[in-house]
Structure 1
Amino acid sequence: MKLKALALGVALAFPMMASAQSSTSVTLYGIVDTGIEYVNNIAADRTGDETHSSTHFTNLTQSVPSRWGLRGTEDLGNGLKAVFTLESGFNAGTGTSGQGGRLFGRQAFVGLAGDWGQIAFGRQYNMLMRGMLGADFLGPNAYGLGSLDNYIPNTRMDNSITYMGNFSGFKFGAAYARGRDTVATGGPAATGCGVDFTDQSACSAYSAMLGYDAANWGIAGAYDVIRGSGDTVPTNWNGLLRDEKDRRWTINGYVKFDALKVSLLYLNRKNDAGIGNGWGDDLGDRSDLWSVAAAYQVSPAVTLDGSVNYIKYKDADESSKAWYYVARATYSFSKRTAVYGSAAYIRNSGLSALSAAGGTAPSPSPGVDNNQTAIMVGLRHSF
């Protein structure tokens, strides 16, 4: 009887001992960022002969997109830990959920991590975004590379598996998704291309990244492919058929000089379905994007950054390109609260009809072969 009681006591104590020895942490975090924007030359028709101006709140992103989330880790021993992230995007102006109305539309994954790297499962960023982090200083700013290619700040995948590793400065990542986006709402963050049980490759996505970061410089490259669905009529918002691909690759790098950081980025895109300008014109199936960016820490509280960007469409019906100029100033009251001002100017040529105001949807295009200016002031708080 005494032996049975002792065995029962050990059995009950063991899970409590294991719980006490394990180290678990969960963090609630977020950013609330809202900006008021002025945009001129908003076209009422393709030609831009009739234009309007507007002052409004941005509704896709500001200096960064508003979000809240939970992230956590548990120490499993022997250098192994469990990790998870649940991250929700929202529109601070209206309180509505972003990414097609999903609760955790930005990220929702669980994984294992160790000295060998991290493997994770769920809704995650692909390797194109991770391969551009070092050189794309403005990131998801309302006036950034997303204004020239709205896929760039929305490189997420449903139903994905990813691997990332960092070994003495060398970084490597790979990702694969089956049914890359299950929400059918039109827009850059949703493509309506879920799992097709009759075709293993339809609506899939894959990407890889390789790079190196030293103390004062870094270089990276990435390759990303998304596939379509539908035999004769596309069944996804991207307009890709089952055997068609939208492929991007990038090479980029950055250098630091004390308070100054400079970067150069190149992004090549080839879309088998063709690239449109939003007004029914054909821009061909390939674009080449160049970006030079700089960031300068004037003081602990003041940061100036900006970029000069150029995109050219190789096989458009007529020669088409755009120059895009961005400047931003940020003043930090504290580590958590900052105010900022941003300005952007775009000059379209040929059939290009890109908007300077990439953080607003629908995109307020100036029309074909026209220019546009956008100005924004805002407030950001992180927690």
Structure 2
Amino acid sequence: MLKSIKGCSAAVFVFSAIAAKPACAEVTLYGILDTFVGYTNASGKGAQTAEQSGGIYASRVGVKGSENLGGGLRATFDLENGILTNTGAASDSTLAFSRSAWVGLASRYGEVRFGRQNSPLLIMHSKFDAFNGGTYGSLLHNASTFSFRYDNMITYWSPNVAGFTFSGGVSLGGQTSPHDALNAYVGAIDYQRGPVYLGVSHAEQNGANGEVLTKTTFAGGSYQFGKLTGFFGFYRGNNLGSNLNTNVEGKYHSVYWLSAGYRATPAWSVTAGIGYVEDSTAQHNNAGEISLGTVYNLSKRTLLYATIARLVNRHGATYALIGNGPFTPNTPARGEGVTGAQVGIVQFF
């Protein structure tokens, strides 16, 4: 349950005493705490048992809010920091708010945001997956490499029009020559009506020389058949080394992912998935995964989850079971596989 406080700051009261009525904002403190115990056995590396943070969701604490400016216009903001619940450390000690730090203006025509923000790709890809784009069980997450969020970002988020929504933005590299060096461009469009959900998102980032070096696409959807929901997810990216200096134009790897979730009772659901990674380079660093999972809701804010997965690499591939972390995975030797199981708990507030 989100905790909301409607009030005015002391500074606003001082201002109002001098000039006008105080401007009040609604502020919400929120968070997700996700901790699990995981076991992995990676060929060539051995077995590991560890308590870690971030199975289904990356743990975080945030403050967000809005202020009614009148005439249907609102000021909005979000400050969010990632944390590691197993140690209490920040997920990125170099940043005060590692996940979000933006301010925006919203109306019935949509919302414009400025600052550090999640990529639409990160938001969308979890909708193509019965495992919510997390846990050991999601090959769509385990085998895709993309930028989760960008600094210096300007985005637009459309209202819902006949089931369609759109978002797009640019991350400014701030370079002088070439002026578009390190810029990133992102966009997404999706459709949801009744049991059908469909979406596609794309991102491109320029290198230091101003040339486009990384291209990433997610696409997929879901369909609900009563208690059963089927999902299809597709990923294609050329950031093979997760490093702008190692990407090769025209060389991609793709992930094909089928999964399903069955809600056996209002509180209990089971999930399953199977997928394949195809490398377009001459190395043929392919991989595949099969997984099972379950979620049990103890309440509206607390859930238990468990997954078991087997990932097999081919040739020189080194994909691992990573969940939503961030944490250092037990990565198998080149061309080898890894088996994993985890049991975790999530608390929303």
Measured against the shorter chain, the TM-score band is 0.7 to 0.9
Tell me how large the CA RMSD over aligned residues is. Answer: 2.4
The unaligned stretches of length 5 or more in structure 1 are 1-10, 43-47, 180-194, 232-241
Provide the secondary structure at the position in 2 that maps to 1:201: coil
2:121 and 2:304 mapped to 1: Cα distance?
29
User: 1:118 corresponds to which residue?
Assistant: 111
2:143 and 2:68 mapped to 1: Cα distance?
42
CA spacing shift, 1:100–1:147, aligned 2, 3 Å = farther
Task: Supply the AA of the counterpart residue of 2:172.
Answer: R
- The answer on whether the counterparts of 2:145 and 2:242 sit within 8 Å (CA) in structure 1 is no
Provide the secondary structure at the position in 2 that maps to 1:132: helix
User: 1:54 corresponds to which residue?
Assistant: 48
Cα displacement (A) at 1:339: 1.6
The unaligned stretches of length 5 or more in structure 2 are 1-15
- The answer on whether the counterparts of 1:291 and 1:307 sit within 8 Å (CA) in structure 2 is yes
Determine what percentage of the aligned residue pairs are the same residue: 27
Cα displacement (A) at 1:13: 8.5
CA offsets 1:199-256 (integer angstroms, 9 cap, x no match): 3222211111112110110211111112222x6xxxxxxxxxx535110123211111
- The aligned runs of 1:168-207 (5 Å cut-off) are 168-179=162-173, 195-207=174-186
User: 2:20 corresponds to which residue?
Assistant: 15
2:326 and 2:110 mapped to 1: Cα distance?
37
- Number of aligned residues: 326
Cα displacement (A) at 1:382: 1.3
1:150 and 1:251 mapped to 2: Cα distance?
15
Task: Supply the AA of the counterpart residue of 1:122.
Answer: G
- The aligned runs of 1:109-258 (5 Å cut-off) are 109-143=102-136, 144=138, 145-151=140-146, 154-165=147-158, 166-179=160-173, 195-229=174-208, 242-258=210-226
1:157 and 1:176 mapped to 2: Cα distance?
9
Residue 25 of structure 1 pairs with residue 20 of structure 2: no
Cα displacement (A) at 1:105: 0.8
2:234 aligned to which of 266, 269, 272: 266
Task: Supply the AA of the counterpart residue of 1:178.
Answer: L
1:99 and 1:114 mapped to 2: Cα distance?
33
- The answer on whether the counterparts of 2:156 and 2:168 sit within 8 Å (CA) in structure 1 is yes
- The answer on whether the counterparts of 1:357 and 1:374 sit within 8 Å (CA) in structure 2 is no
2:42 and 2:322 mapped to 1: Cα distance?
11
Cα displacement (A) at 1:14: 6.4
Provide the secondary structure at the position in 2 that maps to 1:320: coil
CA spacing shift, 1:105–1:276, aligned 2, 3 Å = closer
User: 1:367 corresponds to which residue?
Assistant: 333
Structure possessing the higher radius of gyration over alpha carbons: 1
- Normalised to the residue count of structure 1, the TM-score between the two structures is 0.79
- The answer on whether the counterparts of 1:33 and 1:65 sit within 8 Å (CA) in structure 2 is yes
2:223 and 2:320 mapped to 1: Cα distance?
30
Residue 97 of structure 1 pairs with residue 62 of structure 2: no
- The answer on whether the counterparts of 1:178 and 1:200 sit within 8 Å (CA) in structure 2 is no
User: 1:35 corresponds to which residue?
Assistant: 36
Provide the secondary structure at the position in 1 that maps to 2:20: helix
Cα displacement (A) at 1:336: 1.4
1:356 aligned to which of 309, 318, 321: 321
Task: Supply the AA of the counterpart residue of 1:177.
Answer: S
Cα displacement (A) at 1:138: 2.4
Cα displacement (A) at 1:25: 0.9
1:320 and 1:67 mapped to 2: Cα distance?
34
Residue 73 of structure 1 pairs with residue 66 of structure 2: yes
1:382 and 1:328 mapped to 2: Cα distance?
20
Provide the secondary structure at the position in 1 that maps to 2:128: coil
Provide the secondary structure at the position in 2 that maps to 1:146: helix
Provide the secondary structure at the position in 1 that maps to 2:127: coil
- The answer on whether the counterparts of 2:145 and 2:237 sit within 8 Å (CA) in structure 1 is no
Cα displacement (A) at 1:140: 4.5
- The answer on whether the counterparts of 2:204 and 2:212 sit within 8 Å (CA) in structure 1 is no
Higher relative contact order (CA 8 A, sep 6+): 2
CA offsets 1:124-162 (integer angstroms, 9 cap, x no match): 1122224434323423423222311243xx520001000
2:219 and 2:134 mapped to 1: Cα distance?
21
Residue 336 of structure 1 pairs with residue 278 of structure 2: no
- The answer on whether the counterparts of 2:125 and 2:133 sit within 8 Å (CA) in structure 1 is no
